[in-house]
Amino acid sequence: MKLAVVGATGLVGSEILEVLDEHNFPYDELLLVASERSVGKQIEYKGKKHTVIGLADAVAAKPEIAIFSAGGSTSLEWAPKFAEVGTFVIDNSSAWRMDPTKKLVVPEINAKEITASDKIIANPNCSTIQMVLALEPLRQRYGIKRIVVSTYQSVTGTGKAAVDQMMAERAGEVPQMVYPHKIDMNVLPHIDVFQPNGYTKEEMKMINETKKIFGDNSIQVTSTTVRIPTMGGHSEAVNVEFKQDFDLAEVRSLLESAPGVIVQDDPTNFIYPMPITAHKKDEVFVGRLRRDESQPNTLNMWIVADNLRKGAATNAVQIAEYLLEKGLV
């Protein structure tokens, strides 16, 4: 089986290669694919040197699976070309997420919806993935009426250039600016571009993708997404109103038994999820579980995950694993 990683030289591409290795993902031939400026570069992976190839050569090779992390414009242009030759494309960009003909997949929630005809499969936004994974067992038990989420997102979500800006600022150097303001020792209530309604594109992604993944447009969602000067993962304060009342002990039990979720909720011993401890982990971490005392049937929770892992690379690799497990490849 041929496996292509498109965008192999980027932050998420590098993380995909790490996850493939850790998961012992089976393939016979690995194609590392990038833009023309990276073609011919050598990448050492698992003790072997691989030469980066271009997109046209990758399509001609007809891989069974291609994991894309190369930006929306690349995905819009090239994903259909891969699909035409029979490749399953798992796309990390926002290009296909809200296309009604494409599945938006978090494997633990809705992988069963994938069919042999779904040649382009969308990976949700990183901040959406970790939230819906933690909420899914609670949604199944209590039903969800409304979600209010505020995010605290790592600079790694923007990419290597943003990390370089922050580290240059921290070192007292003059950085190449990626953000409109300094990020080190600062907080930017601004992720992606502002929309006519005053929300950012990132905020609207969380709103719309949550409804699509859950298959329920009746759920009310509002979001404020914030960039903070951290590495390692995204954090979220989530206030969720259920359709019926809940028992906190049962909530904890449901989360503890949920696949891909780890509960860290012992405030007396200062145990709660943090990006620094979620870094390089595949799981979603949940803590600060407490009843909202201002209104009925409402829970407050704190959710953290490595945005390059479950928020991108790990989720994509898990989709590829599902394709193999179900014999679709």
Which residues sit in the known binding site for phosphate? 97
> Are the CB atoms for 90 and 68 separated by under 8 Å?
yes
Radius of gyration in angstroms for the set of CA atoms belonging to the chain, rounded to a whole number: 20
Determine whether 324 is exposed, middle or buried from the number of CB atoms within 10 Å of its CB (0-12, 13-18, 19+).
Answer: middle
Active site residue 234: yes
Query: Choosing from 50, 126, 190, 279, which is the catalytic residue?
Result: 126
Rounded CA separation 155/162 (Å):
6
Query: Choosing from 23, 181, 234, 279, which is the catalytic residue?
Result: 234
Rounded CA separation 271/259 (Å):
21
How far, CA to CA in Å, does 108 sit from each of 23, 228, 283?
A: 16, 29, 12
> Are the CB atoms for 10 and 70 separated by under 8 Å?
yes
- Which positions make up the binding site for NADP(+)? 9-12, 37-38, 175, 307
- Residue 195 burial (CB count, 10 A): 12
Active site residue 181: no
CA 140 to chain centre: 22
The token pair at 145 is 């009426």
The token pair at 152 is 């605290």
Size of the chain, expressed as the number of residues it contains: 329
β-strand partners of 122: 91, 104
Which of 242, 214, 22 has the alpha carbon at shortest distance from 124? 214
Angle between helices 126-142 and 201-214 (to 10 degrees): 40
SS3 135: helix
Q: How far apart are the first and last CA of the chain?
A: 9
Which of 315, 312, 271, 316 has the alpha carbon at shortest distance from 11? 312
- Which positions make up the binding site? 9-12, 37-38, 97, 153, 175, 227, 307
Question: Active-site residue numbers?
Answer: 126, 234
